[in-house]
Amino acid sequence: MPGAADILIRNGMVYTVDDAPASATAVAIAEGQITWVGENRDARDHAGSRTVEIDAEGHTVMPGVIDSHNHVRLGTDPGSIDLHDVRTTREVRERVTAWLAAHPDAEWVEAEGLAYESAEGRSLPDLFYESITGGRPAFATTYDVHNAILNQSGLDRFGITRDVDWVPFGRVEKDADGEPTGVIHDFAVMGLERAGQAALANVVPGYSDDRRYGRLLHSLDLAIEFGITTVVEPQNSVDDLPMFERARVESRLRSRLVAAFFHPPGTSDEDLDEFADASKRWDDDRFRAGPIKLYIDDVVEAHTAAFFEPYATDPSTRGTLFYEADVFTELMAKLDARGFQTFTHSMGDRGIRTVLDAIEHAQRVNGSEDFRHQLVHVECPHPADVPRFAELGVVACMQPRHFAPDVAAQWREEVGPERERWAAPWRSLARSGGVLAFSSDWNVSEMDPLVGIYSALTRADLRGKDAWTTEETVDLATAIRAYTMGGAYANHVDDRRGSITPGKQADVIVLSEDVFGLEQEPAALLDTHVEIAIVDGRIEHRRDNFV
């Protein structure tokens, strides 16, 4: 039959994330595109002898998820101890002891996902005393990957003494006597940069090429299983791009991928030329490189996010900026003039305003339009700056799960009750006309977008408890839009992705429930999964029990 669909989805609750129609029950796909959206009664007109028919069983059919900030290159590693779900000293040490029993020949103890509060009044390195690690050096990263932790043997392996202030992967914290504590600050800024990665790979086994590639493959497999059809990997060097290309050649890159280049302080014009050249080499709808990732400040829990007023738990500090405001303003103008879209990590109100001011300046001096620069995280903006996102056309790339109470407990203590009201103001940003692009920030938080949607609806923990600042929750339609059209707009692909619209690329997922029937009982979202994930008109994931 001429014009027959390659894939025909019937009997679904099709949420198009499009205005016409907003909902339907059937979708036809051919040659990688959505060709028709309509009702079951007309679906047979689009079926042919070779059409693959999918009965959605009354469940939600929606655009594939665009995860706008997902560190698939970092991921998780079975060779490391996963501490994401533990919160006490006893649990950490039990996890280390059990891992050592299973890995008696391990040279290092490596761990990831360490919660700041797990030290229970001690310093984080105390969790990895040599008496616990069997004399082995230990290297751990905090749950947000912004700080690294070394025990004394680990410090010795890297030659870190009282005379060392910086290593290639971060800033060495010192105690009152000038001795290194074992905490390495700014790890996300330096440790994930080319020189930092090389220094780690020479000493810590987990940073070898094979282990890094294994992390990527694991993350890519999770992404497609969770219905993430476009992944934005926010922080890479040019040297990392061949790893993604290898995954593509080996048919392991089943989602589309956008890779941003990391621009730490000290990045040169020659580096920018290298970024521009690489952007031309890797530039298609399955794998594209090009945006620039910057940091203006760091994280709240370590007192390195920049605020106007002091921290509630330490009146001596307001945090720090990585750049003086005038320097960052000129840098943004330069990047904007060269045509680079920017993603800027921005946590505290002072950091957020510094970036918004810089973007406003860049637009004024360059006359640029529609660059869709992003502020990433936007954890605690000043209320006066909330409307500026819409006014400047700046996207707020945010992570709902970060503001669940079981994740944000220490965060809340640090900012204090007066600023808490403006923690992750999703609803206020949306109401003021700002574009939200939601994401997981894997592996800082769970990759599953349904966990993120649940968190956006409730601001509660995964048991449905202790919801806070509920005035900044959003409804289900807003949350889904932020994971689809919001992400598409943020990454300049809203003309071809982000909604179920005829003529757009066929990135479509089928869920195991009608999620709009769950809006009044959002906990059921946590038991919902992706039955089918279609990318570019090809079924890339199908659950075993789904016919």
Q: What CATH code is carried by the domain that includes residue 525?
A: 2.30.40.10
Sequential DSSP letters for 346-393: E-SHHHHHHHHHHHHHHHHHH-------EEEE--S--GGGTTHHHHHT
Residues 480 and 509 in one domain: no
Kindly report, residue by residue over 272-283, the tens digit of the pLDDT: 999 999 999 999
Mean of all residue pLDDT scores within the chain: 94
Residues 175 and 102 in one domain: yes
Residues 390 and 444 in one domain: yes
Residues 453 and 509 in one domain: no
Tell me which DSSP letter residue 519 carries.
Answer: T
Phi and psi of 116, rounded to 5°? -60, -40
Kindly report, residue by residue over 287-337, the tens digit of the pLDDT: 999 999 999 999 999 899 999 999 999 999 999 999 999 999 999 999 999
Task: Evaluate whether 160 touches 153 at the Cβ level (below 8 Å).
Answer: no
Residues 382 and 349 in one domain: yes
Looking at the chain, the whole-number percentage of residues with pLDDT higher than 90 is: 85
HEC readout, 34-81:
EEEEECHHHHHHHCCCCCEEEECCCCEEEECEEECCCCCCCCCCCCCE
How large is the average pLDDT for residues 142-166? 93
> How does residue 2 score in pLDDT terms, banded at 50, 70 and 90?
low
> How does residue 402 score in pLDDT terms, banded at 50, 70 and 90?
very high
Give dist(CA 414, CA 6) in Å, integer: 54
Question: Which tokens in the block code for residue 392?
Answer: 């400047």
> How does residue 19 score in pLDDT terms, banded at 50, 70 and 90?
confident
What pLDDT, on the 0 to 100 scale, is given for residue 547? 58
Weakest mean pLDDT among 79-83, 228-232, 536-540: 79-83
pLDDT greater than 60 at residue 1: no
> How does residue 504 score in pLDDT terms, banded at 50, 70 and 90?
very high
Residues 524 and 478 in one domain: no
Q: Where are the alpha helices (DSSP H) in 79-225?
A: 89-102, 130-133, 152-157, 187-190, 194-201, 209-225
Tell me the residue range of the domain where 516 lies.
Answer: 7-63+504-542
Give dist(CA 453, CA 525) in Å, integer: 8
Question: Which tokens in the block code for residue 430?
Answer: 């949306």
- pTM over cut 0.85: yes
3-state helix, strand, coil in the chain (%, to 5): 35, 20, 40
| Residue 222: inside a domain | no
Residues 304 and 155 in one domain: no
Q: Tell which residue, 264, 290, 267, has the closest CA to residue 277.
A: 290
Give dist(CA 306, CA 320) in Å, integer: 5
User: How would you class 240 by CB atoms within 10 Å of its CB: exposed for 0-12, middle for 13-18, buried for 19 or more?
Assistant: buried
What pLDDT, on the 0 to 100 scale, is given for residue 276? 97
What pLDDT, on the 0 to 100 scale, is given for residue 87? 86
Residues 409 and 518 in one domain: no
pLDDT greater than 90 at residue 145: no
- Distance between the two ends of the chain, CA-based, in angstroms? 24
pLDDT greater than 80 at residue 193: no
Residues 400 and 508 in one domain: no
| Residue 215: inside a domain | no
Give dist(CA 485, CA 430) in Å, integer: 13
Residues 321 and 389 in one domain: yes
How large is the average pLDDT for residues 154-161? 95
What pLDDT, on the 0 to 100 scale, is given for residue 21? 74
Q: Which of 185, 213, 242 is the last residue of a domain?
A: 185
| Domain CATH number, residue 329 | 3.20.20.140
| Residue 220: inside a domain | no
**Residue with the larger pLDDT of the pair 191 and 533:** 533
**Residue with the larger pLDDT of the pair 420 and 209:** 420
Single-letter code of the amino acid located at 456: A
Give dist(CA 302, CA 185) in Å, integer: 8
> How does residue 192 score in pLDDT terms, banded at 50, 70 and 90?
confident
How large is the average pLDDT for residues 36-63? 96
What pLDDT, on the 0 to 100 scale, is given for residue 544? 81
pLDDT greater than 80 at residue 506: yes
| Residue 271: inside a domain | no
Residues 309 and 399 in one domain: yes
Q: In what order do the strands lie in the sheet with 530-535?
A: 23-24, 13-15, 60-63, 508-511, 530-535, 538-542
| Residue 333: inside a domain | yes
Question: Which tokens in the block code for residue 86?
Answer: 């533990």
Q: Tell which residue, 100, 104, 101, has the closest CA to residue 128.
A: 100
Residues 419 and 396 in one domain: yes
How large is the average pLDDT for residues 481-500? 98
| Residue 249: inside a domain | no
Question: Which tokens in the block code for residue 334?
Answer: 């330069």
Give dist(CA 524, CA 504) in Å, integer: 31
Strand-pairing partners, residue 109, are 138
The total of structural domains in the chain comes to: 3
What pLDDT, on the 0 to 100 scale, is given for residue 299? 94
| Residue 242: inside a domain | no
